[in-house]
A and B are shown apart, each in its own frame.
Chain A
Amino acid sequence: MEAQKNERRRRKFIAEIRVLHWQPNAGHTVNSQILAEVSQCVESINGVKEGKWKSTLSFYRPVVKEQANAAEFPRDFLGISLPEQPNKYYFVLRGQRLVVEADSNIQTIMEKLQSYKTRVALNFEGFQYQLGDFQLRVGKVVSIQSESLRGIVMEMEYKPISSWEKSHKIMGEFFDIWQEALSKRPLPGHFVHMEPNFGEFGLSGQYTLQHTAVQYATIMLQMIATAQSIRN
């Protein structure tokens, strides 16, 4: 009975999630070998593989009659679906510091409006691992259209119910341990955690999946910048 109560309480509470992305060293790109090594590393520190995990992210672009006026509409408009809440959908307008949570059928409304179209859609998919009180999700970033590898992401979650400050500190310590474990492998890059300023998005206090959506929007910016710098 007590266990059931705890479980109910646990479900209401969304634990803090850190979204990290793989930053290749200068002159290097991501490849599936790195992903395999990272997964092996999780298992080497006793991570127990639990199952698959997948999030999706779409870039919306305005449909304009005259291209010359396209600049008046936002170009960094993202739609995100997260496995923790499959019946919800998140919009992020990064430039305007806006995150909106809606029912997943808002996507149908966007299709019917015909004012914005999804131009690129990315899947973040991989495996989930349990490591004591932590959950790690390691996955590849692939374009739905081409299946080509665009990046590597990792989600780190500290499950026990605790204050944000406490879990933040514990996550920081765990991240250091993880970086140390990974550094034993000669990989051309490292995981980066860029914490957005949630306050700018009007998010504060209790962690929500809107925080996760904002983190995904932030790492996308970084991944695009990295891809562009390699291309140039």
Chain B
Amino acid sequence: MECVVQGIIETQHVEALEILLLGLCGVQKESLRIHELCLKSVPNLGSEASEIRILCDLMQPEPAWTVRHVGGSMRGAGADQISVLVRTMVESKASKNVLRLFYLLGYKLDHELLRVGFAFNFQRGAQITVTVSSYSKMLKLHATESTDDTVPVSPGIQMVEVTAPASAENYAEVAAAVSSFCEYLAPLLHLAKPGVSTGVVPTAAAAAASLMSFSGSTNM
């Protein structure tokens, strides 16, 4: 299970967001370069259609593979009252031939993306991960090596995602920790449940300018 909120930010303000996150989290950022493959079951397989994501972490010395299943989100009055999405999510590391396994089992590639950016992992009432990244479509199959073969999905815009692992027992506290952290980012971006369109916030430019000048003055 995980708690998640998402938002977008203009690429020109990403540096300011990075400065803010560095100050808030107190940890160094980690670079992100992930090849995401979304597979869907063929029509005759399974009681209903299913979807699986195979992630390949290209930042590791040897590409590291993970299988991710994102399940249904929590519903009902309780879920409506909290500002973050609570959903089931299971991740399992796997050997490099896991993609071949799912192809052989009857899953077909639906789409693939290259996700490039950075992440902050830190403890703040919960184990929170903030990722700031841009998604690119790949023009050739599995072409992760060259940027010539990729096209940004939303040029000039980056996706920000805040996630934290949770359980049926503690999701309310984790959701509260995520919400309270998101308030610090509010001047730069608005974070909401996935699927809720947020847009960019009008205060972003001023907040970014302020952060950049503050960062500049502290560096001197």
Contact = CB atoms under 8 A, between A and B. Distances in A.
Nearest to A89: B92
Contacts of B100: 98
A91 interface: yes
Contacts of B46: 63, 113-115
- Range class of the A interface residue count: 20 to 34
A200 interface: no
A38 to B, nearest CB: 34
A106 B92 contact: yes
Interface in B24-68: 41-48, 50, 52, 67
A65 B95 contact: no
A102 B94 contact: yes
Nearest to A91: B101
Interface in A99-124: 99-106, 108-109, 112-116
Contacts of A105: 90-92
Given A101-B95, A109-B52, A63 B101 contact: no
A66 B101 CA distance: 22
B50 A114 contact: yes
A103 B94 contact: yes
Contacts of A228: none
Interface residues of B, number: 27
B124 interface: no
A98 B104 contact: yes
B74 interface: no
Given A112-B90, A113-B69, A116-B105, A98 B97 contact: yes
A96 interface: yes
Given A64-B44, A98-B97, A112 B69 contact: yes
A4 interface: no
Contacts of B194: none
Contact of B101 (A69, A73, A100): A100
A58 B131 CA distance: 38
Interface string B87-120: 0101111110110110011100000000000000
B155 interface: no
Contacts of B52: 109, 113
Contact of B71 (A93, A98, A106, A112): A112
Contacts of A108: 90, 92
A109 B69 contact: yes
Interface string A112-143: 11111000000000000000000000000000
Given A62-B106, A96-B104, A109-B69, A115 B45 contact: yes
Contacts of B43: 65
B23 to A, nearest CB: 34
A83 interface: no
A113 B104 contact: no
Nearest to B95: A101
Given A62-B106, A91-B101, A106-B67, A73 B45 contact: yes
B167 to A, nearest CB: 14
A151 B52 CA distance: 36
Interface string A199-226: 0001000000010000000000000000
Nearest to A106: B92
A55 to B, nearest CB: 19
Contacts of B44: 64-66, 69, 72
Given A65-B44, A102-B93, A106-B94, A115 B50 contact: yes
A158 interface: no
9 contacts: A72-B42, A74-B105, A98-B101, A103-B92, A105-B90, A106-B94, A108-B92, A112-B71, A112-B90
Interface of B: 41-48, 50, 52, 67, 69, 71, 88, 90-95, 97-98, 100-101, 104-106
Given A64-B45, A113-B52, A115-B105, 6 more contacts: A63-B46, A65-B47, A91-B101, A93-B104, A102-B94, A104-B92
Interface of A: 62-66, 69, 72-74, 77, 91, 93, 96, 98-106, 108-109, 112-116, 202, 210
